[in-house]
Copies of this chain bind each other. A is one copy, B any other.
Amino acid sequence: MDRSAEFRRWKAQCLSKADLSRKGSVDEDVVELVQLLNEREQFFTTSSCAGRIILLDGSINGFEVQKKDCCWLLVTHRPCIKDDMVAALKKANGDAILKFEPLVLHVQCRQLQDAQILAVRSTHGLEVPLSQEGKLMVTEEYIDFLLKIANQKMEENKKRIERFYNCLQHALERATVTDSHSKEKINEKNNPYSHKKKRNRAKARGKCVTEENDKELENDDDLGISVTIFPEDY
């Protein structure tokens, strides 16, 4: 079987599997994005989360919440009001942590040269410890303050998903138009490293420090969604 056929088979197999997530379905805000990718023969999505506010209760042991003893007191993909959070916090008997997690999307690609996982992630989260062994460590005023920030992030995240959808749609259209040129260009002995460098920079921006240029760090929050797209001519 050639690689294209193999990829098709694997894609069909993955997409036909039952959705084993807690929710059991793709989040509403990324359904169109997931469809856009899965309609293309060269891609399929393996995981996604549109973005959410969660309250976890567990015991912080050294570094992190121990997941085995951890429960989810609240999960929402929509803005959250203080009363719901306060009510959920009353059920905490361990170390409760509020998190905001933005869009995450993993996409599998067909070609060897783009056989990386197209990992789309935004780095603008929140991770805030709120209680210790059941004792609330912050005021209700602080929870209100925190939820305003979390809800703003949720709204902005939604806008970014729409923006990303539009950019991706255009990129895929361009890729289709130029597709006939791509194979020739691969054989033209371009300097591949200039391309890699661009990709590298784009990806590196998604997070933290670069030794080369700390400006990237200072600007990383301006970029919205961090995504690696492969140049059509590579």
Contacts and interface: CB of A to CB of B under 8 A. Distances in A.
Interface string A137-181: 111011001100100110111000000000000000000000000
A213 interface: yes
- Say how many copies of this protein the assembly contains: 2
Interface in A91-140: 101, 104, 106, 108, 112-113, 115-117, 119, 121, 124-129, 132, 137-139
A47 to B, nearest CB: 4
B10 A193 contact: yes
Interface size class of A (residues with CB under 8 A): 35 or more
B127 A125 contact: yes
A182 interface: no
A213 to B, nearest CB: 5
Contact of A209 (B17, B49, B215, B222): B49
Given A46-B204, A112-B113, A22 B221 contact: no
A185 interface: no
A25 to B, nearest CB: 8
A53 B121 CA distance: 22
Contact of A117 (B153, B200, B213): B200
A63 B153 contact: yes
Interface string A5-20: 0110010001001011
Contacts of A215: 20
A233 B45 CA distance: 25
Interface centre among A104, A153, A208, A213 (most CB of B within 10 A): A208
A184 to B, nearest CB: 17
Contact of A126 (B127, B157, B216): B127
Interface of A: 3, 6-7, 10, 14, 17, 19-23, 26, 45-49, 60, 62-67, 70, 101, 104, 106, 108, 112-113, 115-117, 119, 121, 124-129, 132, 137-139, 141-142, 145-146, 149, 152-153, 155-157, 191-193, 196-197, 199-200, 203-204, 207-222, 228
20 contacts: A17-B212, A20-B215, A21-B213, A47-B210, A49-B208, A63-B152, A63-B153, A63-B155, A64-B153, A66-B221, A67-B222, A108-B196, A117-B199, A127-B128, A129-B146, A129-B149, A132-B145, A137-B139, A137-B142, A138-B138
